[in-house]
Structure formats: structure tokens, C-alpha cells
Amino acid sequence: MTDEGIGMRGITIRNALTIDVEDYFQVSAFAPYIPREQWSARACRVERNVDRILQMLDMHETKATFFTLGWIAERYPHLVRRIVEGGHELASHGYGHQRASDLTEAAFSTDIESAKKLLEDLSGHRVKGYRAPSFSIGESNLWAFDCLERAGYSYSSSIYPIRHDHYGMPDAPRFAHQVRAGLLEVPVTTARFFERNWPASGGGYFRLLPYAMSRWLLQSVNRQDRQSAVFYFHPWEIDAGQPRVEGVNAKTRFRHYVNLHRTEGRLQRLLADFNWGRMDEIFLSNSANAPIVQTPELNS
């Protein structure tokens, strides 16, 4: 490990490595092209991709958090068990990859409760964390935090404090904060420059930007903010051989397929350059010191 994860006092800062476990045909951008009822007819590639990730993590002696879809867990229960047997955290990504912002409060509660129960039954471990598909908790549906607290989750990682055409809450706090008495929100990491938040934590940005830029952005969070970063990626992002979805528009095609062939090599460098760990071990142990942020009440 290089010194990019070293804080101002020479203390190694541990960052959270997270994987959103879904298959290539389940991404929100493909929803207009692949109806949900066709999912079962698609050849899944998630198992082989997650196995490659587990091998990579073992090689670097790294533990991570796997935000896993209930739909995937139900079909690949042995994959869920391999995740927890490897010492990784199993967390919830909901059941069917429906955006929280597209659901009613009742439907959202059903989704997060059923996913949590399924994952716990399969793994034998308590599920503490949740991440909304497409970071879809924002100003219009802050009631989702009430649902998560009632369902027994301890933390969420569902807000991306940036401006984006599909998601984002740019005025939200950049770092871990309590949104309810028993619930911590741990936003995906941004870097702050020129009075604006910039994405610094994975996904398409990690594939698009040169690796040196991604490393520098994470380094700035560790060194200047002296905070743990939250990095995320998907199993399909290391799978350059995945089937090409026909008929998608140019913007969606670029976002999904750009530099897939480079991602695994970049992840190998990332694992070597920083100190990584599980979300629950990094953030829940310090949650008592997290600032309390009152979210505004929404009009009914």
C-alpha cells in the first residue's frame, strides 16, 4: 500500500469498499429496453463476476461490503454464503432494483423488509446496511429513512451529494451523519473543489477518468478532509464480454460500456494503493460521534 491513505498525523485511514451486486441487464439505464418480466430469460453472469471479485479481494487480503439484490440472492443462495464465509459484509440493495423514488412509501417498505429477511435467512447474519438503487433517496422521498429505521437497518448509503441527470442531492452532507435516531446515512464520496462536489467514488466515473485522477480524488478526501471514503462498483463492470443490449441510445451505451476492459486492472491498483474495509466496521463503530442532521419534513 502506498501512502495515499495516510492522514495528516501519519495514521492510515481505512476506506469502505462496496460492491452493488446486480447483473448487467438490471441497471436502471436499461429499464426502457429490458422489461423486468424478461429478466429470468436472460443468462446471468453475476455469479462468475462476483467469484472473480472475491478472488481479487482474497489476493489483497481485503474485506468489503456487498449490497446485494434480493432477486440475485434468491437465485444464487450459495453466492450469498460465499460472501459471508469470506468475512465480507452482506447488505441490502432492495429486492428488485426499483428506485426508491419510483415507489410509494408502502411499496418501498415491502421491498426493503422482504430483501432484509431473505438475506438474513440465507446468510444467518443480521443485515445492517442498505443502498437504494441508483442512489434514489433525495429531497422528494426522505420518508424512506423512516421506513429503513422501522425495518431495523442501522445505516444507509443511498445519497450521492452531486448534481446528476438521474440522481443526486448536492446540498446533502458529504460525510456520515445521523438522519434518524437509530439510522446513519453514509453518502457516496465526493471531493470538494471550486464550491462544488465532484464524484470521487467509482462507477462510470472510475471507468471514464484516468486512474491517476481517481486516485488523486480519493487521496484528497483522506488527506485534506481526513475522512474515510466510500467507493463502489458493480460486478458487471469487470465483464467486458457481457452481451450488448440492442437499441440503446448513444448516451446510455457510452456510460455502460466505456472502458469495461480496463476496470479489473484499475481495481487491482486501487486495492494496492489504499487501505480498505467493510462499511459496518468503519462507520458503525464511530456512529455515536456522527453529526445529527435534521431532514426537512415533506408535504403530504
Q: Where are the domains of the chain?
A: 3-289
Which cell is 198 given?
A: 465532484
* pLDDT tens, position by position, 187-213: 999 999 888 898 898 888 899 999 999
Please report the beta strands in the chain, taking only residues with DSSP state E, as ranges in sequence order.
Answer: 14-21, 65-68, 89-92, 129-130, 155-156, 177-180, 183-185, 190-193, 196-199, 230-233, 275-277
CATH code 3.40.190.80 for 3-289:
no
Gap between the Cα atoms of 63 and 17, Å rounded: 8
Q: How far is CA 54 from the centre of its chain?
A: 16
The one-letter code for the residue type at 137 is I
Q: Do 38 and 250 meet the contact criterion of CB atoms below 8 Å apart?
A: no
Q: State whether residue 266 is helix, strand or coil.
A: helix
Gap between the Cα atoms of 282 and 141, Å rounded: 27
Quickly state the pLDDT bin for 300 (edges 50, 70, 90). very low
Q: Which of 255, 272, 262, 218 is nearest to 239 (CA)?
A: 262
Which cell is 200 given?
A: 470521487
* pLDDT tens, position by position, 111-139: 999 999 999 999 999 999 999 999 999 99
Gap between the Cα atoms of 222 and 3, Å rounded: 10
* pLDDT tens, position by position, 6-47: 443 344 899 999 999 999 999 999 999 999 999 999 999 999
Q: Do 185 and 145 meet the contact criterion of CB atoms below 8 Å apart?
A: yes
Highest-scoring range by mean pLDDT, 92-101, 159-168, 189-198, 201-210: 92-101
- Asked whether the predicted pLDDT for residue 4 surpasses 50, the reply is no
What number of other Cβ atoms are within 10 A of residue 146's Cβ? Answer: 15
Q: State whether residue 230 is helix, strand or coil.
A: strand
Gap between the Cα atoms of 279 and 242, Å rounded: 29
Quickly state the pLDDT bin for 294 (edges 50, 70, 90). low
- Asked whether the predicted pLDDT for residue 86 surpasses 90, the reply is yes
Gap between the Cα atoms of 12 and 214, Å rounded: 19
How high is the pLDDT of residue 166?
Answer: 63
